[in-house]
Amino acid sequence: MKKRIIISLVCFAAMAVLPFVAVRNTDSAVKPENESKENDVSVTSSHQSENNSKEEKNTENSIQTVSEDKYFKILDEDTGEIITVDDRNFCYGAVAAEMIPSFEQEALKAQCVACYTHFCRLRNIQRSEPDSSLKGADFSAKLSENQYYMSDDAMKKSWGNLYDESIKNIKTAVDDVFGEVLTDSDGNLIMVAYHAVSGGATEDCVDVFGQDVSYLQAVASPGDFSAPGYLSECTVDEKDFKNKILAENKNADLSKSPEKWIGKSEKTNSGTVKNIKIGGENFSGAKIRELFGLRSANFDVEYKDNSFVFTVRGYGHGVGMSQYGAEYMAQQGADYKEILSWYYHGAKLMRS
């Protein structure tokens, strides 16, 4: 693993010569998490996981191309209403919801292909074996929070005087790659994951989601070191820390002095905490992230001045494409095909 990441760092500088080819195949499924969107969003495959539990069982039966019905039906979680959006306009709104519109064209294009692949796959699965809780929709979203999709009205409200320039940037990128998707070597739409900022290298899917997916492997992402918000800090006072840990696991022994509460941690080669001992009990890095609202599970923690201080790297789960990493690659001259090939190595680009 460490060798692969080192090799990735060496190869990163030579990205322009990498071909976009499919070299491996997998039918593994992954259920990425949902990330709330700030200026540096990190979302992926979803809070849809509970609505698509059948997905793990039916990956091998995935429809190989995008749906012939060129529209998406979205269940608004706030109102219970279903809105219908044609594929092209959905791509405009999906990219707007996921990436800063002033990003480089090639980064926006890569995001469009990733979004379209992911939601086409959700649509195929849902229309093959509908989940009654979705009421006929392809997926659900909190549209008031611009989750997964941003309407034109929402763009105007959010961007203000920058709307014309921003929507032009997004439409130019989307129109150039509209209809392109990522597949495995059997022609099945791949499981797509993306996040805002990695810790300097992305994560192996198996380390984060427990499934070994050939095209979701760790690669270097050095552009993330200079990304806004790459490094963040979270300070939790002793009482709050203790209450949250005990609420999660009452067996944790926090009777000793606080500086002894934190034990050893197990990390991935890319830096994400897999497990950490607290009060003698085992906690997953993902759970600690959830409990204390950390931007990622790539963290260190120490006790000082009567508080626990988390030093956090990156934003998101770290699997798949780093959005700021994609922006950095585009700034260095990589096109969207090279970006996608780097973060989804072995996937194949096709037009539906």
What confidence score (pLDDT) does residue 176 get? 98
Residue 314 has pLDDT above 50, yes or no: yes
What confidence score (pLDDT) does residue 326 get? 98
Average pLDDT, rounded, for the chain: 86
Q: pLDDT tens-digit profile of 16-68?
A: 333 333 222 223 333 343 343 443 333 443 333 333 333 333 333 333 444 45
Q: pLDDT tens-digit profile of 65-108?
A: 444 559 999 999 999 999 999 999 999 999 999 999 999 999 99
Q: pLDDT tens-digit profile of 115-166?
A: 999 999 999 999 999 999 999 999 999 999 999 999 999 999 999 999 999 9
Q: Tell me which amino acid residue 221 is.
A: S
Confidence of residue 1 (pLDDT cuts 50, 70, 90): low
